[in-house]
């Protein structure tokens, strides 16, 4: 215990430690604001647009998550890792930035064609085309934002300030313009406009403040950049098979009201996971440079997660009744079931993303994610068909358990092999 405390104090007192603390505080501020702003709008939106409006928004968001994953392609990890390792060489950083930026633009165009194709062949997509297209506008804003660049150079303050700007814009617009249940489409519109505005500012900072050169697109570089991140892309894509797919299946097998109940309960787990991911995001570029500090990070992350899980499970009735009407009472069950998954999501972050990926075990992590996600995808059909939102919650929990357990076991195996 004493030895651990000495290690913590040495880390905090070092230059790297001060950067970690600063970045952690900035990201915490961003996520706290990201929690507070929705708290201001959720009760108002729940009253105005109701469960049906929430359901349509949740359905569109679930679809766009798939397309967003395509445009991200895993660059949020591979590009961050590469920037962190070469951040003192502006020429290399410019090459990395240009290749990733243009690669994401190509992937965005591909995802748009894919979306149009879905409109043509699936009636549920065509019926919700307006809200889906409006939600899609988040993707170009996200590309310009290039959050991975700021994370790689460990300057999280830019990410924080620009996110706060987008959320402030969104919150003001919600209260000014959403006045009727048919105004539900304005919610994703204002989110998208906030992303686009902050994206323009971020791109200006990167090109002129940091003097990063955005060179002309070169197809060979774009193709190589996409190829090098394919394993991580699969890691990011496959969880959608049991995560957002559960929401989509609920839309097919049940009703938009059930989608609203499920997404409303799970929202608090998503918010909590985003908060907990601050630790992972703060340490990722640091661990990319100093792999021997992983144990300290693991202890901090797991202990904090356990506290959050217990709090969400015990306080679930209070949380749901505080922010929603009586129509959302069934969301209590959703929140309690899905809250347990946070522990296993953290284990995957600690031993998957922040260990296997940093140790260049991209293919191993890919295989783990593929097996867990396919299992989750297969069990989601009977569970959701027979038990609706409860089945969706159990799908999320069981798959998260499998993913976290496998990542931990294989990380321990890799570590033992390295020590031999």
pLDDT at 219: 92
At which of 228, 243, 265 does a domain end? 228
Does a structural domain hold residue 387? Answer: yes
> Cα–Cα distances in Å, from 355 out to 280, 293, 405?
11, 11, 14
Does a structural domain hold residue 15? Answer: no
At which of 189, 212, 228 does a domain end? 228
Does a structural domain hold residue 65? Answer: yes
Does a structural domain hold residue 5? Answer: no
How do the pLDDT tens digits run along the chain, 420 residues long?
Answer: 444 545 555 555 566 778 888 888 888 888 788 778 877 887 888 788 887 888 888 888 878 888 988 898 889 888 998 998 888 889 999 999 999 999 999 999 999 999 999 999 988 888 889 999 999 999 999 999 988 999 899 888 888 888 888 888 888 998 899 888 888 899 889 989 988 999 999 999 999 988 899 999 989 999 999 998 898 888 877 776 667 777 788 878 877 788 888 988 898 998 889 888 888 888 888 888 777 778 888 998 999 999 999 999 999 999 998 888 788 888 999 999 999 999 999 999 999 989 998 888 889 999 999 999 889 889 989 999 999 899 999 999 999 999 999 999 999 998 888 755
Q: Are residues 218 and 252 in the same domain?
A: no
Does a structural domain hold residue 11? Answer: no
At which of 228, 252, 273 does a domain end? 228
**Spatial separation of the C-alpha atoms in residues 263 and 139, rounded to whole Å:** 21
Q: Are residues 116 and 41 in the same domain?
A: yes
Total tally of structural domains belonging to the chain? 2
Q: Are residues 113 and 160 in the same domain?
A: yes
Q: Are residues 184 and 246 in the same domain?
A: no
Cβ partners under 8 Å of residue 39, min gap 6: 323
pLDDT at 14: 65
Q: Are residues 237 and 378 in the same domain?
A: yes
pLDDT at 220: 93
Burial string for 57-78 (b: 16+ CB within 10 Å, else e) reads: bbbbbbbbbbbbbbbbbbbbbb
Q: Which domain holds residue 65?
A: 22-228
Q: What is the DSSP string of 278-299?
A: HHHHHHHHHHHH-GGGHHHHHH
Nearest to 159 by CA among 331, 2, 304, 31: 31
Q: What is the DSSP string of 23-39?
A: HHHHHHHHHHHHHHHHH
Q: Are residues 277 and 141 in the same domain?
A: no
- At 140, list the tokens: 């170009």
Does a structural domain hold residue 234? Answer: yes
Q: Are residues 214 and 195 in the same domain?
A: yes
Q: Are residues 159 and 272 in the same domain?
A: no
**Spatial separation of the C-alpha atoms in residues 331 and 312, rounded to whole Å:** 12
Does a structural domain hold residue 6? Answer: no
Does a structural domain hold residue 4? Answer: no
Q: Are residues 245 and 157 in the same domain?
A: no
Asked whether 35 and 106 are in contact (CB, 8 A), the reply is no
Q: Are residues 224 and 343 in the same domain?
A: no
Q: Are residues 77 and 106 in the same domain?
A: yes
Nearest to 312 by CA among 372, 392, 397: 397
Instruction: Decide: pTM greater than 0.85.
Output: no
How many Å from the N-terminal Cα to the C-terminal Cα in the chain?
A: 27
Q: Are residues 215 and 244 in the same domain?
A: no
């Amino acid at each position: 215990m004493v030895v651990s405390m000495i290690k913590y104090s040495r880390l905090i007192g070092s230059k790297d430690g001060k950067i970690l603390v600063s970045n952690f505080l900035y990201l915490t501020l961003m996520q706290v604001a990201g929690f507070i702003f929705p708290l201001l709008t959720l009760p108002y939106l729940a009253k105005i647009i109701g469960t049906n409006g929430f359901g349509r928004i949740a359905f569109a968001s679930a679809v766009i998550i798939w397309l967003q994953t395509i445009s991200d392609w895993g660059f949020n990890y591979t590009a961050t890792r590469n920037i962190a390792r070469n951040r003192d060489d502006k020429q290399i950083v410019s090459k990395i930035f240009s290749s990733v930026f243009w690669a994401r633009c190509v992937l965005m165009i591909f995802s748009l064609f894919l979306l149009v194709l879905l409109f043509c062949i699936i009636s549920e997509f065509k019926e919700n085309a307006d809200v889906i297209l409006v939600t899609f506008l988040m993707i170009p804003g996200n590309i310009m934002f290039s959050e991975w660049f700021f994370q790689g150079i460990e300057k999280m303050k830019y990410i924080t300030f620009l996110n706060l700007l987008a959320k402030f814009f969104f919150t003001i617009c919600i209260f000014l313009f959403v006045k009727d249940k048919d105004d539900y489409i304005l919610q994703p519109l204002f989110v998208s406009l906030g992303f686009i505005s902050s994206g323009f500012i971020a791109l200006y900072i990167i090109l002129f403040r940091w003097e990063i050169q955005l060179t002309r697109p070169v197809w060979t570089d774009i193709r190589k950049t996409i190829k090098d991140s394919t394993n991580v892309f699969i890691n990011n894509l496959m969880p959608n098979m049991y995560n957002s797919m559960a929401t989509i299946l609920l839309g097919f097998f049940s009703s938009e009201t059930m989608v609203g109940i499920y997404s409303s309960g799970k929202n608090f787990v998503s918010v909590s996971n985003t908060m907990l991911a601050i630790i992972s995001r703060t340490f990722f570029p640091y661990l990319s440079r100093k792999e021997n500090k992983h144990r300290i990070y693991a202890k901090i992350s797991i202990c904090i997660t356990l506290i959050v899980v217990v709090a969400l499970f015990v306080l679930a009735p209070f949380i749901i009744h505080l922010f929603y009407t009586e129509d959302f009472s069934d969301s209590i069950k959703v929140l309690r079931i899905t809250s347990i998954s946070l522990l296993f999501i953290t284990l995957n972050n600690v031993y998957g993303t922040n260990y296997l990926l940093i140790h260049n075990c991209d293919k191993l992590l890919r295989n783990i994610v593929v097996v867990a996600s396919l299992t989750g995808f297969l069990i989601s059909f009977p569970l959701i068909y027979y038990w609706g939102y409860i089945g969706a919650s159990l799908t999320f929990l069981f798959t998260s358990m499998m993913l976290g357990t496998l990542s931990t076991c294989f990380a321990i195996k890799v570590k033992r092999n390295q020590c031999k």
